[in-house]
Structure 1
Amino acid sequence: MNVLGDNFAIKTVIMRGIASTLAGDALRMNDVEPVDMKKAMEQHETYYKIFKNQLQLNVIVLDADDSLPDCVFVEDPAVVIGQIALVTTPGHPSRRKECDAILKTLQSFKDIDIKIMKHIDPAANLDGGDVLFTGDEIFVGLSKRTNEAGIKVLEVAFPDFSVISISIQGSLHLKSVCTLGGRRKILIGSDETSTDVKTQIEKKSSVKYEFLEVKDIPCSANSVYLEIDGKPTLIHPSTTKYPLTGQVYKDLQNIRKIECDLSELSKVDGCLTCSSLLLTV
């Protein structure tokens, strides 16, 4: 059985700049709060510095493309596990050209075996935000952005891992309500959608996970888990913004914790995992 280990030993992070068109044109489920672009840029820079300066990783920052307002969210155009990368076909047509720059960047790594979803099945759609790799298996959200054909392509691309489909209702992506919080630990929301996801995971997986339930909004469970020189590390949302969830993070033991606020990007459905693509090469 595959377990957490080398697949989480991150060495390189791919990011992308924020398009000037994001505030007006980026996709969003609820058009309620305006995005403060200056603050969004500052928060994104802090996010970059966590990877580059605090964690001492190789960070590649691609130029923003103003014709692609969502391009900062590099998680969706590709899924990378170990030395295999699947370049996806995002569910929303406006996001599909984002894949071009991601593919070109991945091709610069000779050790990565690249699969291209549209070449395997032109009818397949999948957003990387629907894919939660736990080290043992892959959970994938069947959502508005990811279809059954996309899930089947994921199975083809990553044959060494079980791929488990999780139906998503009321949320954009699977990782909008749950992410990895450590070895066999899943951070998860407490609303109806999150509870349903938890029930499905418990029913469909043979692995026993510890669920860490957050009491603020579900996206406060979205954190970036990685291992640096064998040390578990978690980049998590602001404990000031989410005080109830903050206690969950404070209670985590034997893990390096780094707080990061991307609240401006959250106004266009962006969570912490959305703005980075993690590589082990």
Structure 2
Amino acid sequence: MMNSSYEFRRAITRKPGRSIVGGLRAEDIGTPDLARMLEAHAAYVATLRSTGAEVVELPPLEDYPDAVFVEDTMLCLPELAIAMRPGAPTRMGEVAEMRPAIAGFYGDKIATITAPGTIEGGDILVTGREILVGLSARTNREGVAQLSDIVREYGYALRLVETPAGVLHFKTDCGLVGPETILSTRRLAVSGCFDGYDVLEVPEGEEAASNCIRFNTLVIMAAGFPRTAEMLTAHGYEVVEIDNSECAKLDGGMSCLSLRF
């Protein structure tokens, strides 16, 4: 039996476009290099496909600079997809652009978060036992309440947690690496939100490595964090490192770049 929290048959990605230079960012640490981002994106897609998964790569959306970060538009569960309502106004149109691709797999089994709720996929961590959702500047209580009502009908338990101050998304600071194991920053782990789970804390100075994904047999993480990679390998995980230098300039990470189902 598949574990739907990390075993996937399909993924959807979207190529970054020229407009990526205008993407949102909490802090300006440089303009993204599109050529380098495209190279890294190709490596990311190839890594997903290397597990045997079908990967749909959608074309760029020049009207939406942040559209490469597809995870924020949908939550994909085995039973249905839920269309998010991004907290960033400039990103709301991305959801409608994603619907046709999702409908190709889910048909009419797509629920929708509505105003005044806001919620983005970057704040949602699906584990082997529950759905954790972090409040953030992009995700509000009304959005979480709507999502809770939707998933409860399918037997999912949803738990609201706090995202550390100054952190864009809940998953900026964590990633699932096994059904009961979470890679986390210390600042998030000490909050107690992962009590009952096995927690691997990223070494000090490598906090950005925490946004990783488990995709079938692989743990995919940002390159440049050798102590985290060594720790994961020592725990028996097959690690693949992907250049995230350009996405990081837009507060993006490994989970942001795909919808996995």
Give TM-score scaled by structure 1 length.
Answer: 0.86
1:235 match: 220
Using the TM superposition, give the Cα deviation of residue 195 of structure 1 relative to its aligned residue in structure 2, in angstroms.
4.0
Deviations 1:119-176 (A, max 9, x none): xxx2110010000000200110100000000101111221112111111122000000
Amino acid at match of 1:64: P
Would you say the 8 A contact 2:174–2:183 is kept in 1? yes
Give the Cα–Cα distance (whole angstroms) in 1 for the partners of residues 28 and 255 of structure 2. 21
Does residue 266 in structure 1 map to residue 255 in structure 2?
no
Would you say the 8 A contact 2:6–2:178 is kept in 1? no
Amino acid at match of 1:264: E
Would you say the 8 A contact 2:87–2:137 is kept in 1? yes
| Aligned positions of 1:165-176 closer than 5 A | 165-168=160-163, 169-176=165-172
Would you say the 8 A contact 1:139–1:164 is kept in 2? yes
2:139 match: 146
Pairing partner for 1:20 from 18, 21, 29: 18
Would you say the 8 A contact 1:4–1:136 is kept in 2? no
CA 1:110–1:243 in structure 2 vs 1: closer, same or farther (change >3 Å)? closer
Using the TM superposition, give the Cα deviation of residue 196 of structure 1 relative to its aligned residue in structure 2, in angstroms.
4.5
| Aligned positions of 1:154-169 closer than 5 A | 154-159=147-152, 160-168=155-163, 169=165
2:38 match: 41
**Identical positions, percent:** 27
Stretches of structure 1 lacking an aligned partner (at least 5 in a row) = 203-207
Using the TM superposition, give the Cα deviation of residue 200 of structure 1 relative to its aligned residue in structure 2, in angstroms.
3.0
1:50 match: 47
Would you say the 8 A contact 1:83–1:111 is kept in 2? no
Amino acid at match of 1:270: G
Would you say the 8 A contact 1:106–1:112 is kept in 2? no
Give the Cα–Cα distance (whole angstroms) in 1 for the partners of residues 35 and 6 of structure 2. 32
Does residue 124 in structure 1 map to residue 113 in structure 2?
no
Give the Cα–Cα distance (whole angstroms) in 1 for the partners of residues 107 and 160 of structure 2. 29
Give the Cα–Cα distance (whole angstroms) in 1 for the partners of residues 178 and 4 of structure 2. 14
Aligned-pair Cα RMSD in Å: 1.7
Using the TM superposition, give the Cα deviation of residue 243 of structure 1 relative to its aligned residue in structure 2, in angstroms.
2.1
2:233 match: 250
Stretches of structure 2 lacking an aligned partner (at least 5 in a row) = none
Give TM-score scaled by structure 2 length.
Answer: 0.93
Aligned residue pairs total 257
Pairing partner for 1:211 from 199, 204, 211: 199
Give the Cα–Cα distance (whole angstroms) in 1 for the partners of residues 88 and 62 of structure 2. 17
Deviations 1:11-40 (A, max 9, x none): 1110011021112x1000110222122111
Give the Cα–Cα distance (whole angstroms) in 2 for the partners of residues 131 and 109 of structure 1. 21
1:133 match: 126
The 3-state SS of whatever aligns with 1:100 is: helix
Does residue 97 in structure 1 map to residue 93 in structure 2?
yes
